[in-house]
Amino acid sequence: MQPNTLLDAILDEAGVSHAGLAAHVNQAGRTRGLALRYEHTAVARWLKGQRPRGQVPDLICEVLAVRLHRPVTLDDIGLGVPGEPSSPHGGSLSGFVERATALWRSDEQQRPHILGAPAVTGTPAVMPVWEWENPPEDVDVSRGGRHRVTSADIELLRAARTHYEQLYRKAGGIATRSRVVGFLNAETAPLLRGSYTDETGRQLHRATGGLVAVAGICAYDSDAHGLAQRYFHQALRLAKASGDRGLGAYVIALLVNQSLFMRDFRQAVAFAEAALRAAGRHITPALASDLYAMQAKAYAHLGDGTSALSCIRRAETAADRIRPGHEPDETGYVQPGLVNVQVAEALLSLGDLTAAAEHAAAAVDTPAHDRGRVHRLAMLSTIELRQGDADKAVVTAVRMAEQARGMESQRLRDRLRTVREHLVRSDCAGTAEAAGLIDGALRVPL
């Protein structure tokens, strides 16, 4: 069950409170001979994704149509398909745009039923990937609107994606999310509803897909996993509309990473395989190396050492083929050393501490952006503790804590807490200093 963002957006547009809608629906029901006793709590449940019974969806349309002085359909309020939430891929592209922008609006307004929604599992989680991989394709994405979209507009979106990605790497997703979502609402939504040819539209959807993916990354980093998943699914639909298979594979890599965090290792393997298969020759060496490395981690957690080692070899081979300057902007996160730290984590799960330490040390010795450096140092410290070298682990943990200071990131906080717990249990010299520095980094308000 996913939040009904369309109903939320149209209620906001109509200026109707939860209690007000319930009262109006009760009144409209009485004119039809229905004895309804809805309260604001019922409306809250509808916004969370519950479908009202009987004639109530039609009554909601009737109430809102009077308020807005225009016809309102079941599709307009997110209740067009009985018993099911609207698919992020289903229906027309224009319908998708309205659902997507409704989510952005609800996110910017910090609606609790949006922020706290859990990630979907099973078929609803898999279908967006399947629909991206399979026909039908979008034959024509042109649109007629008031504002004509220009190449300067598209360049603005590309520059914004780069800006917010860099901000995320330095300050964390918690600090960045409100900014990128605000930009989506203020700048991107009007462009999607504008006027453009098929060629311009594909560029617009590609640029928007990259920006929406960053919003998803920030939501993931803020522990809003259901919201992050919805952003990733949106980005995947936008990638399909753009015709860029490589962008779609990049978005699936984000879903693979989230699946690993949620410990759905079989789904991580399947998603990575879908990206590698469907993107084919359009996949770049950087993205291929990351997908293979994440597959290796998933196989290692599943206890399949043979498959894990095979994926490690493929990841390393792909990494050797990376040519700086020949990769799209989105894969810039695959910096030198990233595959090393991914492989180190896989080898750690397999119990090969010596090889894991070599890869982790190589990752730390390679320059990286601030966020990546914290992750690399955390992995090295964890391995050093597992090897019984607590003194080294303390030194590494101190470097990690100093690097993490000032970042607002739930994922980094998780890593810091884990390292701290392991350090405290080791009870070696310098533990108190390292733990104190980690505590200081954790005091950043979220």
Distances (CA, A) of 60 to 26, 31, 38, 64, 100: 10, 14, 12, 6, 21
d(CA 225, CA 204): 26
Q: Does residue 66 sit within a domain?
A: yes
What's the domain count of the chain?
Answer: 1
Residue 22 belongs to what domain range?
Answer: 5-86
Tens-digit pLDDT string for the chain (446 aa): 788 988 988 898 888 999 999 999 999 999 888 899 999 999 999 999 899 988 899 899 999 989 888 888 888 898 885 434 444 444 588 889 988 999 999 999 898 888 888 999 999 999 999 999 999 999 999 999 889 999 999 999 999 999 999 999 999 999 999 999 999 999 999 999 999 999 999 999 999 999 999 999 999 999 999 999 999 999 999 999 999 999 999 999 999 999 999 999 999 999 999 999 999 989 999 999 999 999 999 999 999 999 999 999 999 999 999 998 899 999 999 999 999 999 999 999 999 999 999 999 999 999 988 899 999 999 999 999 999 888 898 899 889 988 888 888 999 889 889 988 888 887 676 787 788 888 887 775 54
| Amino acid of residue 181 | V
Q: CA geometry: angle at 292 spanning 414 and 176, to 5°? A: 40
Q: Does residue 438 sit within a domain?
A: no
pLDDT for the residue numbered 83:
39
pLDDT for the residue numbered 276:
96
Q: Does residue 207 sit within a domain?
A: no
Q: Does residue 68 sit within a domain?
A: yes
Q: Does residue 164 sit within a domain?
A: no
Q: Does residue 287 sit within a domain?
A: no
In 3-state terms, what secondary structure has residue 90?
A: coil
pLDDT for the residue numbered 14:
87
Residue 327: partners with Cβ closer than 8 Å, 6 or more residues away = 284, 285, 286, 334
d(CA 227, CA 316): 33
User: Does residue 198 contact residue 141 with C-beta atoms inside 8 Å?
Assistant: yes
pLDDT for the residue numbered 81:
59
Residue 190: partners with Cβ closer than 8 Å, 6 or more residues away = 147
d(CA 255, CA 229): 7
pLDDT for the residue numbered 287:
97
Q: What is the DSSP string of 101-123?
A: HHHHHHHHTT-HHHHTPPPP-SH
Q: Does residue 73 sit within a domain?
A: yes
Q: Does residue 70 sit within a domain?
A: yes
Beta carbons within 10 angstroms of residue 59's beta carbon:
23
Reported pTM: 0.85
Residue 435: partners with Cβ closer than 8 Å, 6 or more residues away = 420, 423, 424
Can you tell me which residue has the tokens 């209690």?
Answer: 19
**Listed residue (202, 290, 279, 199) closest to 247, CA to CA:** 279
d(CA 169, CA 175): 10
pLDDT for the residue numbered 446:
43
